[in-house]
Amino acid sequence: MNLLEVQSLSKTYGQGETAVHALKDVSFSVPKGEYVAVVGESGSGKSTLLNMVGALDTPTSGKVLIDGKDTFSMKEKQLTVFRRRNIGFIFQSFNLIPELTVEQNIIFPVLLDYRKPDKQYLEELLTVLNLKERRRHLPSQLSGGQQQRVAIGRALITRPALILADEPTGNLDSQNTAEVIRLLKTASKQYEQTILMITHSQSIAQTADRVLQVSDGVLTDLGGCRE
């Protein structure tokens, strides 16, 4: 079963001679539980694609179906709830809440949905992300790498069906990078979470089940990486 279906997605900014075609008739599907890396040069359309899939921006044409639901046909309030429950975002800008501690930032999406956090899973995330000793710290007391790990934990805490990650290990050292990638792979296999991850690192891309390449707004499926 495909968790994600992208159908003839196009995005054009501007009009006439100044028009920029960020995405050109992009179509692909991702089965439930697959871990997919998206590679491409800066300005190729990777981030635009991720924003469209996450319904953070609207396409010029085309559809995005997540678990069979057409996100762009939803009303704003319905879409907000759907995103919160079904999509986990990991972006380069951490977007942490300055007044909340590490632990409070991580569980915030759960509290927004009026639910109680899974304490055992929270402890697992804090351990894997090497944040246990920082759980009471505020974002201003953390390094950039630590803030990124908090953002990763926040995206994973709800066990969303789809995780969208834009350079999730960009601010981490090699040891923590390996731990985060291992956690993402575990999330993919153990909890059947579907992952779409942008990365400039070929070595990280090689950890994925499949690699998609975006070049000048055109997507090419490079196939599987695993032996």
Which residue in this structure is represented by tokens 């985060």?
A: 180
pLDDT at 162 over 80: yes
Report the pLDDT value the prediction gives residue 227, as an integer from 0 to 100: 43
Domain limits of the chain? Answer: 2-201
CA distance to 66, 161, 169, 224, per residue, from 151 (Å) = 22, 17, 11, 28
Q: Are 49 and 219 in contact (CB under 8 A)?
A: yes
pLDDT at 226 over 60: no
Report the pLDDT value the prediction gives residue 225, as an integer from 0 to 100: 61
Rounded to whole angstroms, the Cα distance separating 193 from 187 reads 6
What is the fold of 2-201?
Rossmann fold (3.40.50)
Write the pLDDT tens digit of every residue in 5-59.
999 999 999 998 899 999 999 999 999 999 999 999 888 999 999 999 999 999 9
The answer for residues whose C-beta is within 8 angstroms of residue 142's C-beta and 6 or more apart is: 102, 134, 150
Write the pLDDT tens digit of every residue in 103-158.
999 999 999 988 999 999 999 889 988 899 999 999 999 988 888 889 989 998 98
**Tokens representing residue 199 in the block:** 């990365």
